[in-house]
Structure 1
Amino acid sequence: MSKSEYSTEDFVLDPDFRKWVLENHPESKIYWEDFLNQYPEKVKEIFQAREILVHLSREKKELSQDQVESLFANISREIALLQKAEVAESSKVVSLDSWATIQRYNLEKERMRRRRNRIRWAASLALILGFSTIFYWFKGESVNSSPELVAESVTFEAPAGVKSSISLEDGSKVHLNSGSRITYPKNFSEDKRLIRLEGEAFFEVAKDPNRPFMVNSGHLTTTALGTSFNIKAYPNQFVAVSLVTGKVRVEDQNNQANQALLSPGEGIQADLEKHLWKQSKFDLEEILAWMNKTLVFKNTPLKEAILQMENWYGVKVQVAGEIPKDLSVSGKFKDETLQNILEGLSFSARFSYKIQGKQVQLTFKP
């Protein structure tokens, strides 16, 4: 595959790209700078891939005195260059590593907004460059829909086609399915640990009796002290909470009558529009299949299966013809290619398919 057709996941898996981002390798740096010159439209995927790699980097090391002096020399040089640019009413990013290179392609539209804060930005940039292989880097973001997350918040995202994990400051771990994100305060409060979820995630909660761990997902709030559970809350779908260990309390913020204290193996399915509130047992293998690289369809409506495949593989599916009413599909696919899955489903669902890069077309005959 040509690198010009790379998705975010392809960049993450490319060894040379990893050397550029994590090691600032000179030859890799030259190659990827030339690549961005030729394919500036790939800057979004490259930015996302770099963010994922920095999040996943666990390596920790101490800086030598020479490295510290070099780091602050970079800061001084950046400030001097930006002060000079201020006089000339122009700006320039010094291409020190992958981050600076990527920023060059976003700079023009950001130039006016950053103009008033150039010196402070230069210092922050140099610090990020110097410590990018030592610490996690997070994207700050304000969230209007949750007042308690407005002040200083952090968003961690797994783009479509990518699965990712993160360790929180309290020791809890969150595993995100494709097309999912969590938002939480930069610093948890003294009385609770509040997180907002869009999509699907598995939580391994560190015990802290004085600070309940709370997850807002759609209209549901799930509260735990020390446990592990899965929440599925994609837009326009019902919300499902599945408890694996410990105990959790699930509450419907729009209907106080809907509350449940779950034991391991129990789950809640809730749909606000359909007035659905169902507590029942669940199949653990099925619920956690996504963490084992297994895509499971169990009498799944085809429209819902299409959404799952779009998230799983980072593609866009278009349908030609009319999908038969009440058409559902079943199957278990472990670490399979999209082509193999479509091939398997096409016989029972009776459609033909065509894959062109990230575009997929399903055709149903009359």
Structure 2
Amino acid sequence: MHKEARIPDHILTLIIEREKGAIDGEQSAALHAFLDEHPDLQGEVEAYARIVSKSRQLVIRKEIDRKKAWKKIRMGIGHGHSKRRYIRRWMKVAAVLLPLLGVIGFYFFQPGGVVEEEHSYADIMGTVRQGRATLVLGTGEQVILDGSIVGQMIEREGVSIYKESSERISYTAAASASMHSLVVPRGGEYQLVLPDGTIAHINSGSQLDFPTIFDTHSREVSLSGEAFFEVAHDPERPFIVNSPDFRITATGTSFNVYNYPGDVAETTLVNGRVLVASGRHEGVPLQPGQQASMLHPEDSIRIREVDTDLYISWVYGMFRFRDMKLTDLARRMERWYDVDIVFADDAAGDIRLTGAMQKEKAFESLVWLIEQSANVTFDVVEDKAVVGLKQ
């Protein structure tokens, strides 16, 4: 079983407080105690400290229109504000750093180097993702869910559905059971409160099928794509998620399922306990902080310990990845940004990257960062990007 190295969130917070000059005596003692206990992480801690110190000096540029911003980025204006530092560190600091400092910064890493983006290009160019989905009823009727109906009750087939916000609906009552489907297109995401109170966060390019009334013995749904479940506790009725490659059973827990057709299948447990089964494989128990994965349906289930924040960061507004091949990252970018990406050179797809960015930012911002940190170029025309090696 593989375990990923990590510096705990509370230590990252202490580093940030120290650099802000807001650390108290008790916090300082806790930080020194951690360093004494983990001398091998001294370099990592100081690397984070340098990021924090640098980030506090960021200057947000004035707004300009999208076309001018993209033109400047493509021409290389502002490149003098990005630096490569030949040190290696983990990306967790990005998720902690941004909300605490209240600044906008993006970090990209590749083996042996890091690019620190210190501008607000993504803010300049605006956001691209939105809460949108289609609700398919048992009769086949389709209800478009967008920002046009908020704070109202939708009555269909004897079912009451409350539209809480532009990106969330809640099933409140049903006179009879029928199967509904929530379909989230590429470039969107949505939240659904199921009849039992379980909350499902559904990512781009995904579909969740569920009954309007769960039976008395179990609560069963089917997923194709990615979703994060916060399961309402009910030990008498296990909550079951059927995906193309997995069957996950829980009673009251939080876990993420990533299972798009043709892609790796992953179940990541945040808290509680689940059983993960697949085909001929019996249920394998997961503990918090563990992930079950399978590359092909005929493979055995692999269990490893992971940094769960890396796999659920999308729920909280972050676009994060670690040591990921560019081809795998491209698949996620296609779904998240509703673009098509093709590779003109196979070698470009094999490049591995680690990085973090707020996911509500524009596609062009992520492209710019990738081009600065790797030997690749993106030729973007409307909704298609061709990736090749730099000449």
Short-chain TM bin: 0.5 to 0.7
Asked if the contact 1:322/1:364 (under 8 Å) is kept, the reply is no
User: SS where residue 235 of structure 1 aligns?
Assistant: coil
1:234 to partner: Cα distance: 1.4
Deviates more, 1:304-313 or 1:316-325: 316-325
Q: 2:296 aligns with which of 251, 272, 277?
A: 272
1:264 to partner: Cα distance: 1.5
The equivalent residue for 1:303 is: 327
User: SS where residue 311 of structure 1 aligns?
Assistant: helix
Q: 2:347 aligns with which of 323, 326, 335?
A: 323
Asked if the contact 1:197/1:215 (under 8 Å) is kept, the reply is yes
d(CA) in 1 for partners of 2:349 and 2:387? 16
Structure 2 portions without partners, runs of 5+: 1-64, 67-126, 133-140, 172-176
The equivalent residue for 2:366 is: 341
User: SS where residue 347 of structure 2 aligns?
Assistant: coil
- Higher percent of residues as strand: 2
The equivalent residue for 1:241 is: 267
Structure 1 portions without partners, runs of 5+: 3-8, 15-46, 62-122, 139-150
Question: 1:40-86 CA deviation, whole Å, 9 max, x = no partner?
Answer: xxxxxxx99942447x834459xxxxxxxxxxxxxxxxxxxxxxxxx
d(CA) in 1 for partners of 2:363 and 2:294? 30
1:328 to partner: Cα distance: 1.6
RCO greater where, 1 or 2, for CA within 8 Å and sep 6 or more? 2
| Cα distance change, pair 124–211 in 1 and its aligned pair in 2 (3 A) | closer
- Higher percent of residues as helix: 1
Question: 1:89-120 CA deviation, whole Å, 9 max, x = no partner?
Answer: xxxxxxxxxxxxxxxxxxxxxxxxxxxxxxxx
Q: Which amino acid in 2 is paired with 1:51?
A: L
d(CA) in 1 for partners of 2:374 and 2:183? 33
d(CA) in 2 for partners of 1:290 and 1:137? 21
The equivalent residue for 2:231 is: 205
Q: Structure 2-normalised TM-score?
A: 0.56
1:171 to partner: Cα distance: 0.7
Q: Tell me, yes or no, if structure 1 residue 154 matches structure 2 residue 247.
A: no
1:319 to partner: Cα distance: 2.7
1:307 to partner: Cα distance: 0.4
1:137 to partner: Cα distance: 9.6
d(CA) in 2 for partners of 1:297 and 1:263? 22
1:243 to partner: Cα distance: 1.2
1:347 to partner: Cα distance: 3.2
Q: Tell me, yes or no, if structure 1 residue 225 matches structure 2 residue 318.
A: no
Asked if the contact 2:343/2:349 (under 8 Å) is kept, the reply is no
d(CA) in 1 for partners of 2:223 and 2:243? 5
The equivalent residue for 1:38 is: none
Q: Which amino acid in 2 is paired with 1:289?
A: S
Q: Tell me, yes or no, if structure 1 residue 291 matches structure 2 residue 384.
A: no
| Cα distance change, pair 197–318 in 1 and its aligned pair in 2 (3 A) | same
| Cα distance change, pair 348–194 in 1 and its aligned pair in 2 (3 A) | same
d(CA) in 2 for partners of 1:237 and 1:285? 21
RMSD after superposition:
3.7
The equivalent residue for 2:280 is: 254
1:320 to partner: Cα distance: 2.7
d(CA) in 2 for partners of 1:133 and 1:277? 39
Asked if the contact 1:321/1:365 (under 8 Å) is kept, the reply is no
Q: Which amino acid in 1 is paired with 2:241?
A: V
d(CA) in 2 for partners of 1:287 and 1:232? 9
The equivalent residue for 1:353 is: 378
Q: Which amino acid in 1 is paired with 2:258?
A: K
d(CA) in 2 for partners of 1:226 and 1:337? 36
- 1:186-205 matches, cutoff 5 A: 186-205=212-231
Q: Which amino acid in 2 is paired with 1:227?
A: T
- 1:168-187 matches, cutoff 5 A: 168-187=194-213
Question: 1:112-158 CA deviation, whole Å, 9 max, x = no partner?
Answer: xxxxxxxxxxx979x99xx99699599xxxxxxxxxxxx94111122
1:11 to partner: Cα distance: 10
Q: Which amino acid in 2 is paired with 1:218?
A: P
Q: 1:214 aligns with which of 240, 245, 253?
A: 240
Asked if the contact 2:348/2:387 (under 8 Å) is kept, the reply is no
Q: Tell me, yes or no, if structure 1 residue 51 matches structure 2 residue 145.
A: yes
Asked if the contact 2:200/2:227 (under 8 Å) is kept, the reply is yes
Q: Structure 1-normalised TM-score?
A: 0.59
d(CA) in 1 for partners of 2:353 and 2:187? 21
User: SS where residue 264 of structure 1 aligns?
Assistant: coil
Asked if the contact 1:310/1:317 (under 8 Å) is kept, the reply is yes
Asked if the contact 2:376/2:389 (under 8 Å) is kept, the reply is yes
Give the percent of matched residue pairs that are identical in Structure 1 and Structure 2.
26
Q: Which amino acid in 2 is paired with 1:342?
A: V
Q: Which amino acid in 2 is paired with 1:304?
A: D
Q: Which amino acid in 1 is paired with 2:329?
A: A
1:276 to partner: Cα distance: 4.0
